[in-house]
A = this chain, B = another copy of it.
Amino acid sequence: MPDYNAPLRDLRFVLHQVFDAPALWARLPALSETVDAATADAILEEAAKVTGSLIAPLNRSGDEEGAQWVAGEVHTPAGFKQAYATYIQGGWVGLSGNPAYGGMGMPKMLAVAFEEMLYAANASFALYSALSSGACLAIDAHASEALKSTYLPPMYEGRWAGSMCLTEAHAGTDLGIIRTRAEPQADGSYSISGSKIFITGGEQDLTENIIHLVLAKLPGAPAGPKGISLFLVPKVLVGGDGSLGARNAVSCGSIEHKMGIKASSTCVINFDGAQGWLIGEANKGLAAMFTMMNYERLSIGIQGIGCAEASYQAAAAYARERLQSRAASGKVAPDQAADPIIVHADVRRMLLSMKAMTEGGRAFACYVGQQLDLSKFSEDAAERQQAEALVALLTPLAKAFFTDSGLDSCVHGQQVFGGHGYIREWGQEQLVRDVRIAQIYEGTNGIQALDLLGRKVVAGGGAALRQFATEVRHFAHQHETPYGGELVTALERLEAVSGWLLEQAKTDANAVGAASVEYLHLFGYVAYAYMWARMAAVAEARRADDEAFYAGKLATAAFYFARLLPRTLSLEASIRAGSAPLYGLAAEQF
């Protein structure tokens, strides 16, 4: 299996040049003391080291061995424990955590780059800390001071992990019907009872404690999503001084046998009168949990980019080395039995599709990170508000489009290997299996699409989309870029389809659901066109500095606009066919 090398040059290109993060950080007081270009580069380089040399080497062996469940305990694969202990010493779990409780306070624009490396190196390993970071965010935003000061420092340190307990056997997408109960106790805590499934890292042997964030219903709570509360339930009870006490009534009933991310434990977690504490207000748990879920959605989206990058690196290297058949335009390596397959047009098509989508996604992740930073750190209320609107609009898009593209890319990366792509030892098939979950968990991509079109576009009357469109149009008109025209045309297509859908939704209850996934993809291709136009503008301006690098960016942009962006044509046509073709069959006719 090939090594993973973090694409530092590309990550810096996006962070420093395309989005000029250092200039942004310098103008935001909360960040100006914390981070600058040099600090960011040092962090990226350290991240490249830890992911490439410590974590990536455990990816294949972790897949072969898998997480094991023995008598209620989970054993992570060989090497995970030691690697995790080394990893947390770098403070990575608290990278963008609140400094008041031991976090490093780094901007999200930087954190997304780190997350990409972590998922690329080893998606299963990444999940053990990704959930902790998200749980911390929800605790920091909604919990009492007492809970925050007790739980956040060891969680940022990585000594304790977090988990997210939402799903029950009968309730996945539809959390309104969960059955887990919380009974108030005399001491102000709650007794939690119920069974949760699909709990990533719900039990493991890496940390001293696991802090479960659990959705449950209080006695007499309203039915449906408005009767759900959020509780903090530690695996091991914690004393007032932060010391570990008795085991809480929390147990792992079993783990799942899955298609991929086999080294990540996916647990049934049983709460049998476990002691827990309310986070935030009663019956407002879903909103509080969404702080974590939105974080995880972007994070899981980035899993799509990370796996795709890993697959791309391996496929490009293989295509340069594997000799097979001759170039259509004449021998390229006449002294060898055949030419390297990278000469063949269809191999290039697959590699360029991967490259264009992965780099477009990387830029878009940084862009969403920028909006998250603005919404959190800007001193200007209007700027914060605008950024928040973009974050709300673009988070479901990022989660689903990164991961749908991630599967496509990993399938391409497997195909480049021919028969070897199907063999486990070569590693490409694992990436297909590992990335596949990212389209399913954290809200299926169908649910993300409903959120994007239904809640973020239609319910808001298209306001957030208009804001995004104004920004894109502003860019296209202000900068000299060979793709300004194509970008505006694509944007107009998105706007026209959106306007048509806003109209349809007034009279057709199924209009949103019928169009949502194609709409998300249409939006995604337009968003990436914006990213590629921005990257091309920078590459043209800087071309003289490093011809090979920037010419490569321009050639990839050219490929994107010529060969991938036209997919919007079909998406529009499918959407405009409306919902009627979906309702021609009765349930029993399927």
Contact = CB atoms under 8 A, between A and B. Distances in A.
Interface string A552-574: 10111011001110111111011
Given A415-B440, A559-B581, A582-B345, A552 B510 contact: no
Given A257-B424, A338-B174, A570-B566, A328 B513 contact: yes
A183 to B, nearest CB: 22
Contacts of A144: none
A587 interface: yes
Contacts of A441: 419, 422
A300 to B, nearest CB: 13
Nearest to A424: B257
Contact of A513 (B342, B345, B424, B585): B345
Contacts of A562: 574, 577-578, 580-581
Contacts of A73: none
A484 to B, nearest CB: 18
A259 B349 contact: no
A563 B419 CA distance: 33
B419 A198 contact: yes
Interface in A433-477: 433, 436-437, 439-441, 444-446, 449-450
A418 B440 contact: yes
A131 B323 CA distance: 28
Contact of A259 (B316, B424, B516): B424
A563 B555 contact: no
Q: Which of A325, A422, A423, A509 has the most CB of B within 10 A?
A: A422
Contacts of A345: 510, 512-514, 516, 579, 582-583
Given A328-B513, A346-B450, A419-B172, A563 B587 contact: no
Contact of A349 (B198, B337, B346, B517): B517
* Copies of this protein chain in the complex: 2
A267 to B, nearest CB: 12
A407 interface: yes
Contact of A444 (B316, B415, B432): B415
A582 B424 contact: no
Contacts of A563: 574, 577, 581-582
A562 to B, nearest CB: 4
Interface string A386-400: 000000000000000
Interface string A177-211: 10000000000000000000110000000000000
A450 B568 CA distance: 26
A127 interface: no
Contacts of A198: 419
A338 to B, nearest CB: 5
Interface in A498-541: 509-510, 512-514, 516-517
A324 B172 contact: yes
Contacts of A329: 509-510
Interface of A is mostly: helix
A584 interface: yes
A35 interface: no
Contacts of A418: 172-173, 440, 444
Contacts of A38: none
Nearest to A446: B346
A411 interface: yes
B170 A323 contact: yes
Interface in A298-327: 316, 319-320, 323-325
A552 B449 contact: no
Contacts of A41: none
B259 A582 contact: no
A352 B444 contact: no
Contacts of A340: 587
Given A551-B589, A589-B548, A584 B569 contact: no
A564 B554 CA distance: 32
Given A444-B418, A552-B585, A569-B569, A259 B432 contact: yes
Nearest to A337: B177
Given A174-B324, A346-B516, A569 B559 contact: no
A167 interface: yes
Q: Which of A349, A407, A432, A516 has the most CB of B within 10 A?
A: A349
Contact of A585 (B324, B352, B422, B589): B352
A201 to B, nearest CB: 15
A257 B589 contact: no
B570 A584 contact: no
Nearest to A423: B256
A344 interface: yes
A421 interface: yes
A587 B320 contact: yes
B439 A348 contact: no
A46 interface: no
B422 A259 contact: yes
Contacts of A577: 562-563, 566
A425 interface: yes
Contacts of A429: 258-259, 436
Nearest to A348: B582
22 contacts: A170-B323, A172-B324, A172-B418, A173-B324, A197-B419, A198-B419, A256-B424, A258-B423, A342-B590, A344-B513, A345-B579, A346-B514, A346-B516, A347-B446, A352-B585, A355-B590, A419-B440, A555-B584, A556-B584, A558-B581, A566-B574, A566-B577
